[in-house]
Structure 1
Amino acid sequence: MSPTAKITERRPALLVLEDGRTFTGRSFGAVGRTVGEAVFSTGMTGYQETLTDPSYHRQVVVMTAPHVGNTGVNGEDDESGRIWVAGYVVRDPAIRPSSWRATGTLEDELVRQGVVGICELDTRALTRHLRERGSMKVGIFSGDEAVTPVDRLVEQVGAQPAMAGSALAGEVSTTEAYVVRPQGEPIGRVAALDLGIKGMTPQRMAERGLEVHVLPAASTFADLQRVGADAVFLSNGPGDPATADHEVAVLREVLAARIPFFGICFGNQILGRALGLGTYKLKYGHRGVNQPVMDLATRRVEVTAHNHGFAVDAPIGEDFDTDFGRARVSHVGLNDQVVEGLQCLDVPAFSVQYHPEAAAGPHDADYLFDRFVDLITTARSDKSDKSDKSDKKVDA
């Protein structure tokens, strides 16, 4: 039998945007006050993965799917050890979950973790507003907080820091290194810099025989070397990539050493910066599990999972020169022609802006982990060949 939600009193609630527009609703989850950046997600599944994705730190997520909570929550689908969203906005919360995997209800979990939400408001109108005006600061106020004069609430919303210029990776990264062991025969070791890594990412690598050493965001190039890694990975994460000077400097050392590299999301933006490219904030970003992307090499279209509010500024359709040789844009978003991937042609490095680990699906981009394995095995083979040739010269 599926769990049933505790009887929750729906208190009056108010959503307030920084431009002064308001939406009335009822409390959902914890009652109180929260602020963040208003963004919308178009996913119809995977809300538990969304809630626990560290990339959503300091963001209030608006779900465009009208009915949320149908499958409850369970102990297997979390991408991290806690809910990271600053607030949660849904139209119609499920009365009860209907899934054999459910061990609790969504609302009970929001209450347990103190996540303030709002329901019974017009999420379609709110999403249209964000599409027209762009992502902006927002506050959710419920219970006693909702009776504060609106002009004072607008002031509170506007007083919070903007997402542009915010360095947040250090706030969500692990504080201690840990290892995800490979499944089956080990084929390589990866040093993964945790900028807000999702749990499924090292799992996807471990499934392919990679031993993944997950390191804090503040780790240095020397720390990566101490792991004895065959390759380096930079994860997804929150915040403005323009603030990631430390991570960019570390990656430039990785590229100079010709160590195989793979980056996802924030890692893609950091590769862009390491190559000398700029980044910029998107008007309202890409979030959801139904974003079409084209692989420019194969012309294959993938349906992909996204969560990014920033993008890399790079020329599409032509190779360009960098400090590390030639590079090119490898993937492009078909909705708006945003850069969704980079590939280096003279050093072993590539990245994508979207999420191939996509625990809730889709899995069209799963092949990228195989590409990373190929990069590692090729680099190891080349190193072995050079060693053999060196040994022969010594013998001669």
Structure 2
Amino acid sequence: MKSITVVGASLAGLYAARALRTQGFDGRLVIVGDEHHQPYDRPPLSKDFLTGATDQGQLALVDADDTADLYAEWYLGTRATGLDAAGGTVLLDGDRSLETDAVVIATGATPRLLPGQEPGDPAHTGVHTLRTLDDAQALREDLARGQARVVVIGGGFIGAEVASSCAMLGHDVTVVEAAPLPLVPQLGDDMAKVCAGLHADHGVTLVAGTGVAGLQGGRGYSDHPDSPDRVTGVELTDGRLLPADIVVVGIGVRPNTDWLESSGLLLKDGVVCDAGCVGSLPNVVAVGDVARVDGHRAEHWTSATEQAGIAAQNLLAGSTVATHRSLPYFWSDQYGVRIQFAGRRLPTDTPRIVEGSADARSFLACYERDGQTTAVLAVNRPRPFMRYRRELKRAV
């Protein structure tokens, strides 16, 4: 194996490239990324970067030493358009191609859009998604124009974090969630209700149990030039109209697999992989948000970093010699509160607060099944959480 191409200059792609070098690969290493930026840390985009507490330089995941150690060829601002695995070719925009012996797919995911909303061309100005550094920069600049009525569509972790940041900046914020309560799939009814209470604690309105019928456009708020196509409101399916100067759409993501449709790879809500991140074609592995590993697709920072080493090992071995069996873990910072979760809970598992108080917004809860702890949730309890997480990891 003389050449490997990593498609996706993401966190997962960077960690895979590092793992390949660490594990002894000394051939040609190419990293292709559709953004013009080198890999950067995404979690702060909805938090400290949006509020201005963190600048772009602090997000960087590579420095001069990393670049030298990787000894990689960077194709930034370059979009992969196809994969011919049998022919050993990655197709690029501009009718270009790369010859390669193996491929690491790390193309991540892209935000889901509202009906009628086009990628990069929203129906009205003032409508944002938040996935990339450029997305975050555009939203930050819009928020800096003056006090605004902000409507966040989607009450998941990204939506809640954006709402928290906007409230911290002094904006009037409303969160719209189609489900009766945000975060129920992740946390269950009881714990989701506690986390939903954080919005009210900080003056943010939560409108749950209704969807979005459409957006209205017209004259913008006073700090903007008058524009016939600027968003002015959000129409709800229950007939209500929410005035809005800025709208953030945070209704989930879909894996970036369109460029692989004719590759012959098995695709199903991501690149289908075995437990070792190995795809259905020889010499192809996938990591991060785009990878469906052993039936599951994890959209979390920790999973992306852990999968990379396993994928590199199996790619260099030419078969699945190691598997990824980590404990699911994610965190979220909202309204000055850190929420941490680890484990695999079922809807029937029962949460029990073992430390602290939900009313005080500081507690640790264990999810239990047949007398065994299956998962743990902490709200502003980082130290005991880490202890429980270590115990759960040992069990895995």
Q: Same fold (TM over 0.5)?
A: no
TM band (smaller chain) = under 0.3
Q: TM-score, normalised by structure 1?
A: 0.26
Q: TM-score, normalised by structure 2?
A: 0.26
